[in-house]
Structure 1
């Protein structure tokens, strides 16, 4: 069961990162959670990136190891209070996508190996620290999709944006 969960999340992460990097994918082959993730994160991601442009431009990421380290530090800060909700789960994807695009912007080629490594450390984080909460809160299909599929739920995305901005603000003190 655990390996199936890892593979499911890994495919969700990898599909999202490919979307962020604008690699074509057949919409018909996407699971409902993958479709909702792309739609929700895309609408929020552009706004978050624009708001964080100055900070992101100063962030030099020269390797996947840099991205892994920064990702871990930001996630530690993001979840330091012990609270988990679907908006915060979404921030994991948003931040991973932002780091991936930043790697690309710093001249690091997004080879299959690099994308696999990024997908792997993001998946490890989700599966090892959030899988129980995700399962207890409806899973990807009944929890995540239900939360973000309905347009009226998108009002909570403002709270996600505010949280991401606060984490970046805190993190920028150290980089």
Structure 2
């Protein structure tokens, strides 16, 4: 059985990916935390996507499995120094969004099942590597009190 924390993170990841992929049935953010994530992570994504383009263009992102491998490798390097902060937590969402968009660019059909798989591997990463840090640093609701400048990576 999945924990309530797992379900909550999965819900946040799914909402963010729907927002980034500009799904037509997307309504208002389902929670205040989801709203902050939509705006803070997408701000970082827009700010960094162009500078990451040369690197991203070298990746062969033609399947969800390839996206998973790339995601894990990049996140492991991002956190290799052992430092975690809220900006880096947002980076997890941001990079998942970038990879999802790259899959679309490579004409990978993002079916409901594919989006579930992407949401799953992002959630797994957060739960397995960052859940303790998030809890020790005030939980997800801390995002509601942060200013955009506090999210620098």
TM-score, structure 2 as length reference: 0.92
Aligned residues: 152
CA drift at 1:119: 0.2
Aligned-residue CA RMSD (Å) = 1.6
Alignment of 1:66-105 (within 5 A): 66-105=66-105
CA drift at 1:17: 0.4
Which structure: greater helix fraction? 1
Counterpart CA distance in 2 for 1:25 and 1:68 is: 24
Counterpart CA distance in 1 for 2:4 and 2:64 is: 25
The answer to whether the 8 Å contact 2:6/2:123 transfers is yes
Q: Match of 1:16?
A: 16
Counterpart CA distance in 2 for 1:36 and 1:47 is: 16
Tell me, yes or no, if structure 1 residue 113 matches structure 2 residue 107: no
Counterpart CA distance in 2 for 1:3 and 1:100 is: 25
CA drift at 1:2: 6.2
Unaligned runs of at least 5 residues, structure 1? 148-152, 161-175
Deviations 1:33-75 (A, max 9, x none): 1000111122221121122222223322111100010111011
Counterpart CA distance in 2 for 1:61 and 1:111 is: 16
Counterpart CA distance in 2 for 1:19 and 1:118 is: 14
TM-score, structure 1 as length reference: 0.81
Counterpart CA distance in 2 for 1:72 and 1:50 is: 21
Unaligned runs of at least 5 residues, structure 2? none
Alignment of 1:1-175 (within 5 A): 3-23=3-23, 24-27=25-28, 30-141=30-141, 143-147=142-146, 153-157=147-151, 159-160=152-153
The answer to whether the 8 Å contact 1:138/1:144 transfers is no
SS state at 1:110 partner: coil
